[in-house]
Amino acid sequence: MTRVAIVTGGTRGIGEAISLALQDMGMVVAANYGGNEEKAKAFSERTGIKTYKWDVGDFDACQDGANQVLQDLGPVDVLVNNAGITRDGVLMKMSFDDWNEVMRVNLGGCFNMAKAVFPGMKERKWGRIVNIGSINGQGGQYGQVNYAAAKSGIHGFTKALAQEGARTGITVNALAPGYIDTDMVAAVPPEVLEKIVAKVPVGRLGQASEIARGVAFLCSDEAGFVTGSTLSINGGQHMY
C-alpha cells in the first residue's frame, strides 16, 4: 500500500531530507513550503516531489492545503510537522510580534495541521505524526524564550495527542534535533556557533539526513509501538 505524507517546510534543510527519506520508503510525498519559491522550484525539479505553498500558522490555509493534497494524491497517512522559524532576541528586547509569530508558526502550525489530517487518520485507523521539536525546547536557550517555549509546547502537544490516537493505530512522536547544518544554523554568528559545537560530544554539527533517518523510522509500520516519545538526535549534547 502506498502511503501519502505531508512534510511541512519540506523543500529545504531538514524538511528536504525528510521528504527524500519518506520518498525512499515508497511514500508519495507532498512538500509544503512557506514562500521561498526559488528553493521550492529547484527542489521539485530535482526530486519530482510535488510542492504546496501555504502558511502553517494560518488555520484555514492548512485545511485548504491538506484538502488539495487529498484531492491530488489521496488520503494523508503521515504528517511531519517540520516547518519552523526563529526570531531570536533576549526578553528585554523581544517584541510581542516576535513572540507571537514564533508561537503562531512553530506551535500553532502543529495544531492546525493535525486538525486537518487527524480525522481522516482516525477513520482509516492508521496514522503517523512526527513533530520536530528542538534541543532548545528541552533545555532552553539564551535569547530564545519564544522559540524554546514553542518547541517545549510541541513536546507537550505530542504526548497529549499520542493518547488520543493510540487506540486507533495513530502514533504521535516528537524528534528533537540538536544543531544541524542548515540555513537556520547558518544564521547563528560564527563565534557563537563555535562555542556551541565545542559542547557537542561528537564534535560537529549534525546533518539533515541524520534527522531524516529518525523521522523515517517513526513513520514506518514497524514503529507502531512507539508513541508519545521524543527521539533526541543531538550528538550527545544533552543526554535526556
Residue 34 is a binding residue for ligand NDP (CB under 6 A): yes
Residue 59: all three cell numbers together: 488555520
Residue 36 is a binding residue for ligand NDP (CB under 6 A): yes
Instruction: Provide the residue type at 93 as one letter.
Output: K
Residue 235 is a binding residue for ligand NDP (CB under 6 A): no
Residue 165 is a binding residue for ligand NDP (CB under 6 A): no
**69-77, 156-164, 177-185, 217-225 -> range binding ligand NDP (CB under 6 A):** 177-185
Let me know: does 164 contact 129? Beta carbons within 8 Å: no
Number of chain positions touching ligand NDP (CB under 6 A): 31
Closest CA to 24 of 169, 212, 208: 212
**68-76, 121-129, 174-182, 218-226 -> range binding ligand NDP (CB under 6 A):** 174-182
Rounded to 5 degrees, what are φ and ψ at 123? -60, -45
Residue 5 host element (H or E): strand 4-7
Nearer to ligand NDP, 126 or 215 (CB): 215
DSSP SS3 for 97? helix
Residue 45 host element (H or E): helix 37-47
Is residue 147 flagged as an active site residue?
yes
The residues that touch ligand NDP, with contacts defined as CB under 6 A, are: 8-9, 11-15, 32-36, 39, 55-57, 82-85, 105, 132, 134-135, 177, 179-180, 182-185
